[in-house]
Amino acid sequence: MNVDIGNVLTENNTPSLNTTQLERLDERVGAAHERIADGRTNDEFGYAALNLPETTDTSLVREACEPFSDCTSVLTVGIGGSALGAKTISEALGGDGAEHHVLDNVDPEHTRTLLESLSLAETAVHVVSRSGTTAETLANFLVVRETMERAGVDWTDQTVVTTGSDGPLRRLAESHDLPALDVPDGVPGRFGALSTVGLVPAAIQGHDIDALLDGAQARADSLTGSLFDCPAYAYGAVAYALDERGAGTNVMMPYAEGLESFAEWFAQLWAESLGKDGGGQTPVRALGATDQHSQLQLYRAGPRDKMVTLVRPRERGSLTVPETEIDDLAYLGGRDLGELLRAEFDATEASLAAAGCPNVRIEIERLDAECLGALLYEMEAACILAGELYGVETFTQPAVEWGKRAARGLLGGGEFEEVAAVAEKHRFVVE
Amino acid sequence: MNVDIGNVLTENNTPSLNTTQLERLDERVGAAHERIADGRTNDEFGYAALNLPETTDTSLVREACEPFSDCTSVLTVGIGGSALGAKTISEALGGDGAEHHVLDNVDPEHTRTLLESLSLAETAVHVVSRSGTTAETLANFLVVRETMERAGVDWTDQTVVTTGSDGPLRRLAESHDLPALDVPDGVPGRFGALSTVGLVPAAIQGHDIDALLDGAQARADSLTGSLFDCPAYAYGAVAYALDERGAGTNVMMPYAEGLESFAEWFAQLWAESLGKDGGGQTPVRALGATDQHSQLQLYRAGPRDKMVTLVRPRERGSLTVPETEIDDLAYLGGRDLGELLRAEFDATEASLAAAGCPNVRIEIERLDAECLGALLYEMEAACILAGELYGVETFTQPAVEWGKRAARGLLGGGEFEEVAAVAEKHRFVVE
**Tens-place pLDDT, residues B281-296:** 999 999 999 999 999 9
> Whole-angstrom Cα distance, residue B67 to residue B53?
25
Q: Do A426 and B327 touch (CB under 8 A)?
A: no
Q: What is the DSSP string of A302-315?
A: S-S-EEEEEEEESS
Q: Is A246 exposed, middle or buried (0-12, 13-18, 19+ CB in 10 A)?
A: middle
> Whole-angstrom Cα distance, residue B262 to residue B362?
13
Q: Which helix (H) or strand (E) holds A113?
A: helix A108-117
For the domain made up of B50-210, the CATH class stated in words is alpha beta
Q: Which helix (H) or strand (E) holds A4?
A: strand A2-4
Q: Is the Cβ–Cβ distance between A274 and A390 less than 8 Å?
A: yes
Which residues, in sequence order, are bridge partners of residue A125? A75, A159
Letter string b/e over residues A122-139, b meaning 16 or more CB atoms within 10 A of that residue's CB: ebbbbbbbbbbbbbbbbb
Q: Is the Cβ–Cβ distance between A81 and A189 less than 8 Å?
A: yes
pLDDT tens-digit series, residues A187-214: 999 999 999 999 999 999 999 999 999 9
Q: Do A425 and B6 touch (CB under 8 A)?
A: yes
Letter string b/e over residues A195-222, b meaning 16 or more CB atoms within 10 A of that residue's CB: bbbbbbbbbbbebbbbbbbebbbebbee
Q: Distance, in angstroms, between A357 CA and closest chain B CA? A: 12
Would you call B110 a catalytic residue per the annotation? Answer: no
> Whole-angstrom Cα distance, residue B228 to residue B204?
39
Interface test with A, best of B12, B103, B107, B314 (most A CBs within 10 A): B107
Q: Give which of A383, A240, A311 is closest to A1, Cα–Cα.
A: A311
pLDDT tens-digit series, residues B56-107: 999 999 999 999 999 999 999 999 999 999 999 999 999 999 999 999 999 9
User: 3-state DSSP call for residue A357?
Assistant: coil
Predicted complex ipTM: 0.98
Q: Distance, in angstroms, between B247 CA and closest chain A CA? A: 12
Q: Do the bridges between strand A282-285 and strand A249-254 make them parallel or antiparallel, or are there none, so unpaired? A: parallel
> What is the average pLDDT across A79-102?
97
> What is the average pLDDT across A296-305?
98
> What is the CATH superfamily name and number for domain A2-36+215-390?
Glucose-6-phosphate isomerase like protein; domain 1 (3.40.50.10490)
**DSSP secondary-structure letter at B317?**
-
For the domain made up of A50-209, the CATH class stated in words is alpha beta
Interface test with A, best of B290, B307, B336 (most A CBs within 10 A): B290
> Whole-angstrom Cα distance, residue B97 to residue B74?
10
pLDDT tens-digit series, residues A4-26: 999 999 999 999 999 999 999 99
> Whole-angstrom Cα distance, residue B304 to residue B307?
9
Catalytic residue among A91, A136, A264, A272: A272
Q: Do A135 and B340 touch (CB under 8 A)?
A: yes
Q: Is the Cβ–Cβ distance between A17 and A358 less than 8 Å?
A: yes
Which residues, in sequence order, are bridge partners of residue A195? none
C-alpha B360, offset from chain centre: 18
Contacts of B97 in chain A (CB under 8 A): none
> Whole-angstrom Cα distance, residue A31 to residue A391?
12
> Whole-angstrom Cα distance, residue B61 to residue B207?
12
Catalytic residue among B11, B116, B293, B425: B293
**DSSP secondary-structure letter at B183?**
P
Assign residue A73 a region: left if phi > 0, alpha if psi is -120 to 50, beta otherwise?
beta
Return the pLDDT at A410.
96
Would you call A272 a catalytic residue per the annotation? Answer: yes
Q: How long is chain A?
A: 431
Q: Is the Cβ–Cβ distance between A273 and A395 less than 8 Å?
A: yes
CA angle A289, A262, A304 (to 5 degrees): 60
Contacts of A268 in chain B (CB under 8 A): 293-295
Question: How would residue B327 be classed by pLDDT, with cut points 50, 70 and 90?
Answer: confident
Return the pLDDT at A327.
82
Q: Is the Cβ–Cβ distance between A15 and A245 less than 8 Å?
A: yes
pLDDT tens-digit series, residues A411-430: 999 999 999 999 999 999 99
Per CATH, is B2-36+214-390 categorized as 3.40.50.720?
no
Return the pLDDT at B247.
98
pLDDT tens-digit series, residues B231-243: 999 999 999 999 9
Domain ranges, ordered by start, for chain B: 2-36+214-390, 50-210, 401-431
**Could you say which of A104, A413, A425 has the minimum Cβ distance to residue B331?**
A413
For residue B326, is pLDDT > 90? no
Phi and psi at residue A428, to the nearest 5°? -150, 90
> Whole-angstrom Cα distance, residue B426 to residue A350?
10
C-alpha A408, offset from chain centre: 27
Contacts of A293 in chain B (CB under 8 A): 79-81, 136, 268, 400
Domains B2-36+214-390 and B50-210 share a fold: yes
Return the pLDDT at B325.
83
Q: At what angle do helices B135-150 and B401-410 cross, to 10 degrees?
A: 50
Q: Mean pLDDT in chain A?
A: 97
| Residues contacting residue B200 through CB under 8 Å, at least 6 positions apart | B61, B64, B65, B74, B76, B86, B126, B160, B162, B181
Q: Distance, in angstroms, between A369 CA and closest chain B CA? A: 16
> Whole-angstrom Cα distance, residue B190 to residue B84?
8
> Whole-angstrom Cα distance, residue A144 to residue A101?
13
Q: What is the DSSP string of B319-337?
A: -BPPP-S-GGGGGGTT-BH
Would you call B34 a catalytic residue per the annotation? Answer: no
Which strands, in side-by-side order, build the sheet including A2-4? A282-285, A249-254, A306-313, A359-364, A2-4, B429-430
pLDDT tens-digit series, residues B369-392: 999 999 999 999 999 999 999 999
> Whole-angstrom Cα distance, residue A122 to residue A119?
6
User: 3-state DSSP call for residue B231?
Assistant: helix
| Residues contacting residue A42 through CB under 8 Å, at least 6 positions apart | none
Which residues, in sequence order, are bridge partners of residue A253? A310
**DSSP secondary-structure letter at A395?**
T
